[in-house]
Structures are given as C-alpha cells and as structure tokens.
Structure 1
Amino acid sequence: MPSLKTAPAASGHTVEYPRGGPGRPGKPVGSITRGTTNPNRLRRMDRWLSGPSAASVKKAADPLVIDLGYGAAPITAVELHHRLAKVRPDVEVIGIEIEPERVRRAKALERPGLSFRQGGFEIPVAGRRPAVVRAFNVLRQYDETEYAAHWDMVRARLAPGGLFIDGTCDEIGRRATWVAIAPEGPVSLSISLRFGAFVRPSDVAERLPKALIHHNFPGEKIHRYLQALDKAWAEAAVLASFGNRQRWLAMCHSMVAAGWPVLDGPSRWRLGEVTVAWAAVEPGYQGL
C-alpha cells in the first residue's frame, strides 16, 4: 500500500493524498462503486449545466470537464460531451473511473474532445484545472464521514469560477438533486423532478446528496425546506386542473414570497426544477 500525505481541509476533515502529494502520480483516491447507469439518466443535470450554469464552461480559459465515476458504461460522459459541445464547441470531456476494466471498455468510444482514463478524486489531469467536475451517484455510496474531505479535495483542483457538482438521481433520471460547489465552498442545492413522477416534492428525499440525506429530520434546515415545498405544493392544488407545471410554478412563487433564497426563475421552474442557496439547507441541527 502506498504511503500517504495528509493535508488540512476547509471542512475540518483531513484529506489523504496519494504518495507524492496532491497532483502527483499515485494510487487513485476513492472506492469502486456499483457503477449502475442508464442512457439519458443525467439529462436533468446536463440541461442545468448547459443552461443557467453554462458560464463556467463558456468563460473557461481551459474548457475541461470531468465526468468523475461514470460507472460501468460510459454513456453519461458521451451524452455530456454532446450537450456541452453545443455551448462550447471546443469543450473537452474526460471520463474518469477508478476501475480499470471500465476504462478499457470506454476507450472504443473516444473521439476528439472525449477521452477516458483511470483515476479518482485526485483528478489525474497533469496539473490542469477543470472548469467542471461532475460526480453523480458516486458519493451517495460512501459513508457520511467521507464526503466532506472528497469535496475539499476536488474543489481545490477547480479552475477559478469552476464548479464541482455532487448529485444523485433515480435509475432513469426522473428524480434528481445536486449540490453545486465552487472553489470557495458549496453554493446551492437543485431539485429537479419529472411531472407525474412524484406526489409531493419531498418524495425526492431518498435521492438527496450524501451531505443531506441523513439530515432530513425536524430541526434540520433541509427538512424545513422540503416541508415548505410540500406546504406550498398543497396550497397550489387549486391549479391542478391546469396541469402540474402551473402548480409547480405557483409553488415556486410562494417559496420566493415566503423569503426562501431561490436562485432561479420561471424558465427553470417550468422544467420541474428549483434551486436554493446552500445556506438555506446546509447541515447543522437547529433545534425544534
């Protein structure tokens, strides 16, 4: 087993780097995940990244995007490259997987702007700083005590203005959530639901990112937020005959009126999406 060096992390956790220190060759950081994936599973997050958050790619000096832990099949990296190329034609997507056989199989799909390599949270890109790192359905398979150190490790490698996206979704992408993390720390939580795939907004709770999924109980901010969404959704039931989209729009307007720091607007709400500032949902028991 290689020797490790440790470094303090902003979260208060300790990050363990492979031998040689951060950015040097060594054993990949992370664990092999189940690797399950499906075509179009991450379309909701891709739509957000190529939409309201496209600036992180459009304005990047080096339009490097990492699909970290893409799983047993590389389809999510292929789809991400296709979608982001419409925003930035010279975008470069690198799919990174810790399991060598998954990388070997993906090599057949390489093309200009899309490649695959072995690695983990250390992001083995030879000193380059990614504009975006996406890790979807990866950290949810880790222990709760581990996610913060991995957040710190990845965000320390981002380009200025870059984003690390830690997200979770169901098997076919109908219910999704993700945290956007800047080099300075977490920025926002997004919830994106397919109309007809939920009864209440809080049905997404089982798909919350690892940072929040164990904090959905009274006294925690994320619980209060989901309960507020449910209440606003119930109060908008009078609009149900006009369709779930109109009801969702009314719910979001109510959340804004109630003072929640919602960061997007009707063009995103129409898609079954809503994004709130991280401070409104961050972990930390508040008491009853």
Structure 2
Amino acid sequence: MTELPRHHTTLVTGATQGLGRGVALDLAARGGTVLLHGRDAGRLAAVAAEVRALDAGGEVRTYRADLSDLDQVEALAARVRAAEPRLDALVHNAVAGGGPRPLEREVSAQGHELRLAVNHLAPYALTRGLLPLLTASAPARVVNVASIGQETVDLDDLMFEKEYEGLRAYCRSKLALIMATFALAEELDGTGVTVNALHPAHLMDTAAVRAYGLTPLVGVEEGVRPTVRLVVDPELAGVTGRYLDRFTDARAHEQAYDTEARRRLMALTDRLVGRVPAGA
C-alpha cells in the first residue's frame, strides 16, 4: 500500500456512499487527509466518523453541496479555497445515473438536463473553481470517474430535449466528461496539474446501478482500486489526458478525439457554467 503524508489532501465528491465512500476510506487508511463532499449532513457525519475510527494519521473535513445546482458548486469551490491550505487531488465521483424513471426528463436548478448538469457541468465548474488551489499545490491530480457506457453527444441538442431516455443521457454526459478531461489536460499541460478519466469497474453494486434496475456484477471495492491508483501511484506522476478502463489505457468513444467536437462542447460548456456571457 502506498502511504500518504498527513498533509496530502484529496477532495472526493459523492463520498457518502458507494464508490466515493470506498475511495475516501482507502485514502484515509493510507494516512492522507480527506475532504468529504455529499448532499446529506447525516451521511457525511457517518462517513467522517468511519474515517476518524481508522486513526491513520490524516484529518477529515466535510463539505455539503448539491452539485445539480451550479450556484452551490461555485459556493463549494469558494469554501474549499478559503478553508484548505492545499489540495493534492480532486476525485469527481458524484453521479446522476439513469434514474428509476428513465423516460422522465429531469432538470437542474438552472434548467439544464440533470445528467449533464451533475456528471459534466458540475465537475468542470468545480475543477475550474479549485484550479488556484490545485496549481498552488502542484503536483496535483484531477480524477474523473467516467464510464465505459458512452454515447455520441448531440451538440445541437445538448440538453437532450428530443427522444429523451435516462441511461442514454447518462452515457452522453460521461462522454462529455471524458471530452472535458482531454481538453483540460491539454490546457493545463505544464502547470503540474494532471487530468485523467477512468471506467472504474463494470456494474458495481451502487445505488445508481440498482435505481435503474440493473443487476450489479461486482462489489464497489473493484472500482476503488483503479480509482485510488490514479490518485496515489508515483508511476503516474505527470501522466495526463488519459482514459483508462480500470488499470489499462483504453480508447474512448471516437467523438472524444474529434477536436472540433471538443471545441464546440467546451464553448457550450463555458457558457453554461457562466465563464462566457450567454450572449457572447
């Protein structure tokens, strides 16, 4: 096991259950400090208590926010920047899956399609908001938990207003996350901040998998190991712009390598998260 110094700090989103909880506990057991994000105060307190019970030397702090609301994402980034002296890694694990009613299109606080908002816009906006802290702490790592389930992003119908289906929306949002991974890795090359994405495991036993009605095939621990590796493995220092299927470099959906499609997606994304005025 790669041990971490106490000051090594990782923020894990969606850390109150499933993969996020497993990743947070693994990193804490290595001696590092973990910042737990979640929506429910009670579940946050429970996982924080689990971390403290490990008594492995690091610290634990909690941050509550609903990532489907970009205003709360911005506020979360501001709170972390103000409170934390450093940030060595950021694991984007929080997810909106296919949902229990997949034909019912849901929207975020800002009116964006919900899967796109939680799985793509929120990670991008949070990374942007925390870049000052990440670059000041460099070398630092951003890990995007993506999926092998990927579908072409319709750039003319980004909000999936035509023929909506929840799992398809999830697959589009995960491809958008991978495309943003490649774009940010290219932009941040040379800053000491790396950005990578992975498919952690196939059909893990998580709430999102069960909610859609799918049958889990493996335990959460199968996804914890490859995810944590991207945070701690010294051999991955400086490695950026990769998509991995668990431990192995893999080829994402072909659209991820279309530079014009990436440019269009990121321009739309910047507008949606408020980095570019809506009318510009």
Query: Which TM-score band (shorter chain)?
Result: 0.3 to 0.5
* TM-score of the two chains, using structure 2 as the length reference: 0.39
The structure with more helix, counted as a fraction of residues:
2
The structure with more strand, counted as a fraction of residues:
1
Q: Which structure is richer in relative contact order (CA contacts within 8 A, separation 6 or more)?
A: 2
Name the larger-Rg structure.
1
